[in-house]
């Protein structure tokens, strides 16, 4: 296997530069001509400006406007960052050792850069604040869900921890606050087929082979609300939210299920009352048992006045 070429420019804000391999052949006389066609979301004027400002690099240094198209070579550059709404909640470190970092993520903070969320993500914050440029996620947690997320510090250990999640060797428990229905018989295991299409915000349950399974247990109830323990056996997108909505008890603060409701990115009131509470597994490197628990609480249950007043959703 060929070794990946090192980037000729350093990370920025904890993010590595984008890397493009130029085609082995093509009609372009200059790099500028190719990039204008290759990057349709970036204006030709912006690409030319980046070349003039020496912000696009080849293996030996910055490239200029007149750089000839060189088939099969690589170029690197940092993409322009979108304007982001600051997320006014902190990430709490739960555990850190040589290989592993476990954090307690707040609501509204994405796990990894994607779309309109780049700097305001747990990965970028942690890389920057902890000085861990090679940090990578072992799994993901929805932006609107709070709780435990695990990252890998050393690249050599990444595969072992990510494979553990892929092979479902991690026991995960969640806590959710949703309406209480005295007629709903619990505990029970919900099974269905969930499909999430690319570009479509909400997932759907469809006929077919089961690919999503969730154990649902009522822990307590009061004032028309229930506190539920959720244990997913699978990890489909939005699985817990879809399954509770299917039972007729949609999670408080859910803007997707049962009805899709658009919420401004700067609206931090009424967050989804879903918490990734526990991660438990056998460490693939040491064989030692591991168990981590979130220290956050869901305010609709633990501080209902705060929830009613549109305060932060987990503490």
Q: Which residues are catalytic?
A: 142
Residue pair 55/12 in contact (Cβ under 8 Å)? The answer is no
The DSSP output letter for 126 is: H
H helices of the chain, where? 31-38, 44-52, 122-130, 158-166, 239-246, 299-302, 304-308
> Which residues share a beta bridge with 173?
278
Token pair for 304: 């209902």
Phi/psi of residue 279, each to 5°?
A: -125, 130
The beta strand positions in the chain, using DSSP E, are: 18-21, 56-58, 61-62, 74-77, 92-96, 100-105, 136-137, 146-152, 171-179, 188-195, 204-206, 212-222, 225-232, 274-282, 289-293
Residue that the structure tokens 């700097």 belong to: 119
Q: Rounded distance, CA 305 to CA 166, Å?
A: 40
Angle, alpha carbons 11-15-19 (nearest 5°): 80
Q: Are 270 and 222 in contact (CB under 8 A)?
A: no
């Amino acid at each position: 296997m060929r070794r990946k070429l090192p980037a000729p420019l350093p990370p920025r804000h904890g993010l590595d530069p984008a890397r493009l391999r130029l085609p082995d052949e093509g009609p372009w006389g200059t790099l500028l001509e190719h990039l204008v066609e290759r990057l349709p979301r970036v204006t030709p004027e912006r690409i030319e400006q980046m070349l003039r400002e020496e912000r696009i690099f080849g293996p030996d240094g910055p490239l200029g406007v007149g750089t000839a198209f060189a088939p099969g070579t690589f170029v690197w550059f940092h993409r322009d960052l979108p304007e982001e709404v600051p997320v006014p909640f902190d990430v709490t470190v739960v555990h850190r050792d040589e290989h592993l970092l476990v954090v307690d993520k707040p609501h509204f903070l994405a796990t990894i850069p994607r779309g309109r969320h780049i700097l305001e993500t747990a990965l970028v914050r942690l890389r920057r604040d902890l000085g861990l440029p090679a940090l990578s996620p072992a799994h993901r947690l929805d932006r609107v869900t709070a709780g435990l997320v695990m990252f890998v510090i050393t690249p050599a250990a990444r595969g072992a921890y990510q494979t553990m999640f892929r092979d479902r060797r991690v026991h995960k428990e969640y806590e959710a606050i949703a309406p209480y229905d005295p007629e709903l018989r619990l505990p029970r295991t919900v099974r269905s087929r969930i499909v999430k299409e690319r570009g479509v915000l909400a997932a759907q349950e469809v006929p077919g082979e089961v690919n999503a399974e969730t154990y649902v247990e009522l822990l307590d109830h009061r004032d028309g609300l229930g506190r539920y323990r959720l244990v997913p056996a699978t990890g489909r997108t939005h699985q817990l939210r879809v399954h509770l909505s299917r039972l007729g008890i949609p999670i408080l603060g859910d803007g997707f299920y049962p009805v899709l409701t658009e919420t401004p990115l700067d609206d931090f009131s009424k967050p989804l009352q879903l918490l990734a509470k526990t991660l438990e597994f056998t460490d693939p490197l040491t064989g030692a048992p591991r168990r981590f628990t979130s220290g956050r609480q869901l305010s609709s249950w633990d501080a209902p006045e705060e929830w009613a007043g549109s305060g932060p959703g987990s503490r």
